[in-house]
Amino acid sequence: MTRERVLYLAAAALTAAALMLPLWSFSMSAPQYPDETLHLQVARGGIGGDVQEVETLQHYIGVRFPTNLPELAWATRGIVALTALLLAGAAVGRSAAARWFRVACATLFIVFLAGSAAVVQARLYEVGHVRDPHAPMRSVRDFTPPLVGPVKVGNFTVWSLPHFGGLALVGAAALAVAGARRRAA
């Protein structure tokens, strides 16, 4: 079995696994609750974790974290399509045309990840800026959680990080790029 085929089969396996794993996670902590951190995980089925507790806290500052995420439906279809393309990339052989097909697969994967990141960042902006003007605590300024990293919201620190599914997709993209870089025989 060629190295390209192994890389593309591994990339397809990681991509398929991402469908069954949480894609992204958020953690919220505050100094007044040192032993309690709230967690949210975004998976293809929606948001899980401490949803009710987070919604209760967000009510006070007028934030509504979206629980209905239609983006997950197209992301799921995109992940399935990428899995199929990667499997095809593993099967095409070693010709120059096969290499171009693998380059196209890797490029589509990178475009998918970049587009997904842009959609998520836009949604995060919306969370921190489209707020209830009648919220009990209006002293908390508008904010934009980063795609990766922390943000201070009132006295809470909110961390946004890729979860196992998101990391699997990034790893799969790296394998696809590595497989596409191999020269034809």
pLDDT digits (tens, 9 = 90+) for 9-45: 999 999 999 999 999 999 999 998 888 999 999 999 9
Contacts 24+ apart (CB under 8 A), 149-158: 153/61, 153/63, 153/128, 154/61, 155/30, 155/31, 155/32, 156/28, 156/29, 156/30, 156/57, 157/28, 157/29, 157/30, 158/26, 158/27, 158/28
* Tokens (6 digits) for 159: 């961390």
**3-class state of residue 25 by DSSP:** strand
Which of 126, 132, 21 shows the shortest CA–CA distance to 68?
Answer: 126
Within 10 Å of residue 139's Cβ, how many Cβ atoms? 7
Determine the average pLDDT of the residues in 159-166.
97
pTM of the model: 0.91
pLDDT, tens digit (0-9, with 9 covering 90-100), for 113-132: 999 999 999 999 999 999 99
